Structure 1
């Protein structure tokens, strides 16, 4: 019987990094998604605080505002992946989050001078800043998470998405009705971002070796489990671009994420407008019920996480089977409920709210289904894969509000909203089919540290320990059924 591995303290620095990422994602999503409630408050001052200016923006102009964040967001994904490999995750995430907070604080000032066009402009700049961050997050998880804890730590950190959704929907509505009105939404978002930056500066480290606070036992546990060569943290592993772009599992992930983003962005951006127009709900109840589906999503994310740990610990499912099972639930249940929502009106608002809550709640399974799959396929190039996936997937939220703006000419017209929900349902169904047939959670051959050197030895790219690379490549096969340490 083998001796028990010393993993360090029960709550170690790898858990602190996970908490910091969770809080970062929460703050980012508050700043990103509060626009849905803010736009309603700015165009209907009587429903919030009438002491602040009201703007007469039509549905098309509001659609531009809702999508403008992603105009900037898609252009810095690749850059974020490159910068974090070149300069380290800590610096890139710090400056990206700080800049996002600055642009949030300036939002009311910009709107007062330039109206909806200025609002779009400042949202584009915020998108530029936040676009750097998510590729860094996946690289940080790959460097800090032992393979047998990667699923748990990754999923826990990503629950910040659900937490951010809830706060953006619920708190934004409450702030809009408070004495600080709709400008307060931006100021509070900025304050949260700046506070997070202070904690990140103090406690974050690019890897376990660089951490000032980590104990020797935890350091040895993390580094030995990752099975790197000795110079790993001092080298930049060349990126196998051709192998990535011709990888069937990666392309399947790309398609699935794009389809999932369409469905979820439809719900995130359009729920306040749908509830106000079709269900005839006032701002106060709108804020609560807009947040309710994402509260369910937050709770369900922990249900999925606990279930995943149980299934993997008992060797009941491989990691690939687990990802596909959870992804099927996250895609196909909303596929059915979204169609049902389109046939309900204000007389059936309780049922509509219930179906929306179910749709968004079960979609949290996509975190374990596809969101962490970039780390499965290639821990060494997780930031690059995430940069590619996020660039493609976040073109979708640019298009979604614009499509809604074309289809929905009258916000209270239920038949027009039916078309919106049917489109989202079809994409949910198709995306999961692609992932079921072609997806996997097994590390790919091109993840090996010496992959390009072995393919093109005349280049002499970098010194690498071939055995370490081989072990790292085979690692996922050894831990498919035992990710619960």
Structure 2
């Protein structure tokens, strides 16, 4: 008779931790992406609440503001993992979110005397703090999620990305048009961030055994599942030893470069919409702030829903053997890149009389692009399960460099945000980059473990190098012997000739 595993309550502390991680992404994304709406309200008071200051910032200055967050963000990606290992996710995420929340509250006061430069400085500092976030989230999930629930709980936590972007767009527009005006965007973002920190400090725990609220049954269930998995990993590690990172092989791998180029291209198109959509809707489509808020948020609601749709479809195709993992990845990625590229070009030719169609195309763009997660984001696991974390760190850093550039390009191209032709250039460039990225991925991308993923790859390479060196030395020795032999024969021949000449001379005398 098989004993039934007691997993504790149906909704337990592991679910609460997952929900807190979901909320952490939401509140941090609110602080991260509220600038897209805020700069529109701050530079066009008539479009929001006119009782608050208006600033005369040109498109380039607005672009610096939108870009500045990522100046700091890319600098602390790897540091976040180190801090989490040293101090734990609880304190690191608390500092990350609290620091970002307090900084965002300073913006209304600092901008009044420091202008757009102060705004840039604060957003850069926010990026430094938020760079710690995702390494901590992944580490916390690893400590709290039973192995068999890891994918499900991890996916639920990461839906905070789309939800946070949605809330940032929608809430920011409503707040800017309300009685508290555009400063309210920052104060509310600060408030929800501080509230999350309080909840996290009370309920968050680095590991299940540190939680004051977890039941014994759930604790045993989580620890048994994780420990059994870790014992298997430790046994493998003991047998093979630590797996060295084959840096040279990674940086010379064509499939890895194809993945990195693809992720950068996806980041280009997606970040263009994230940061510039409110300005485009206000300038070209002539939407007021409330309408802008609703319609700016709708595409991210579509993305949130489509993420689950893609997941279900891909699971059915794979489990029923209808398509291979290579076919699924490349097909889904092609849909997620080519369709948004066409939608971007379509949007660029619409004007204020075609608002509904513009919103539909934008929802199509962002919603269909949600498939890029299945299409290419998790391709790191296909290439190298043993080095997936290293690959993700490199790719994620490169992809997060792109949002620094996209607003700056918009600032160079768009001098008048009411000029539809200038926006056409921006959207067509993004569409071309989408297409190029997918062509590279379909042509050179691979969904199989690379030779350098093998634990003994470096040993084999060293052995091969030693064999090559040994063969080379043997050839050199052989060549040297031949040269010496030739010299010896030449010397003997010369000696014989001299002896012959001497003998001939003696006989003549």
Task: State the TM-score bracket (shorter-chain normalisation).
Answer: 0.7 to 0.9
Which ranges of structure 1 fall in alignment gaps of 5 or more residues?
458-485
Take 1:441 and 1:225, find their aligned partners in 2: how far apart are those partners? 25
Q: CA deviation at 1:247?
A: 4.2
Q: Distance in 2 between matches of 1:314 and 1:172?
A: 44
Equivalent position SS for 2:357:
helix
Determine whether 1:155 maps to 2:181.
Answer: no
Q: Secondary structure at the match of 1:49?
A: coil
Moved more, 34-43 or 276-285: 276-285
Pairing 1:81-480 to 2, within 5 Å after superposition:
81-141=81-141, 149-206=149-206, 213=214, 214-225=218-229, 227-229=232-234, 240-374=246-380, 383-440=389-446
Residue 56 (structure 1) shift: 1.2
Q: Which residue of 2 aligns with 1:29?
A: 29
* Secondary structure, counterpart of 2:370 in structure 1: helix
SS in 1 for 2:75: coil
Aligned-residue offset at 1:286: 1.2
Mark the runs of 5 or more structure 2 residues left unpaired by the alignment.
464-509
Shift of 1:63: 1.0
Distance in 2 between residues matched to 1:252 and 1:393, nearest whole Å: 13
Q: Distance in 2 between matches of 1:354 and 1:137?
A: 33
Root-mean-square deviation (CA, aligned residues, Å) is 3.2
User: What is the Cα deviation at residue 319 of structure 1?
Assistant: 4.6
Taking CA–CA contacts closer than 8 Å with sequence separation of 6 or more, which of the two structures ends up with the larger relative contact order? 1
> Shift of the alpha carbon at 1:34?
0.5
1:162/1:68 Cα in 2 relative to 1: closer, same or farther (>3 Å)? same
**Structure 2 counterpart of 1:54:** 54
For residues 203-230 of structure 1, the C-alpha deviation after alignment (integer angstroms, 9 at most, x for no partner) is 4455567666342123222343463217
The number of equivalent residue pairs is 455
Question: Is the contact between residue 379 and residue 447 of structure 2 (CA under 8 Å) also seen in structure 1?
Answer: yes
Q: Distance in 2 between matches of 1:275 and 1:336?
A: 19
Query: 1:252, 1:439 within 8 Å by CA — same for their partners in 2?
Result: yes
Distance 2:23 2:456 in 1: 35
CA distance, structure 2, for counterparts of residue 243 and residue 193 of structure 1:
42
2:144 and 2:222 in contact (8 A); partners too: no
* 204-213 vs 117-126, which moves further: 204-213
**8 Å Cα contact 1:208/1:222 also seen in 2:** no
Of structures 1 and 2, the larger Rg is shown by 2
Deviates more, 1:320-329 or 1:292-301: 320-329
Shift of 1:47: 2.1
Q: Distance in 1 between matches of 2:84 and 2:242?
A: 11
* CA-CA distance at 1:375 after TM superposition: 5.3
- Aligned to 1:181, the other structure's residue is in SS state coil
Q: CA deviation at 1:96?
A: 1.5
Does structure 1 retain, via aligned residues, the 8 Å contact 2:267–2:399? yes
| Cα separation, 2, equivalents of 1:381 and 1:328 | 26
**1:405-430 deviations in whole A, cap 9, x for unaligned?**
11112212222211111111111112
Residue aligned with 1:229, SS: helix
Q: CA deviation at 1:171?
A: 0.4
Moved more, 161-170 or 196-205: 196-205
Deviations 1:318-350 (A, max 9, x none): 555443333222212101111111111122222
What is residue 462 of structure 1 aligned with on the other side? none
Q: 1:390 to 1:302 in 2, by over 3 A?
A: same
| TM-score calculated relative to the size of structure 1 | 0.83
* Alpha-carbon distance between aligned partners in 2 of 1:4 and 1:372, rounded to the nearest angstrom: 36
Aligned to 1:482: none
Q: CA distance change for structure 1 residues 343 and 402 in 2, over 3 Å: closer, same or farther? A: same
Describe the superposition over 1:67-116 as per-residue Cα deviations: whole angstroms up to 9, x where unpaired.
11111111111222333344444433232122111211222121122011
Query: Could you tell me how far 1:384 is from its partner in structure 2?
Result: 4.0
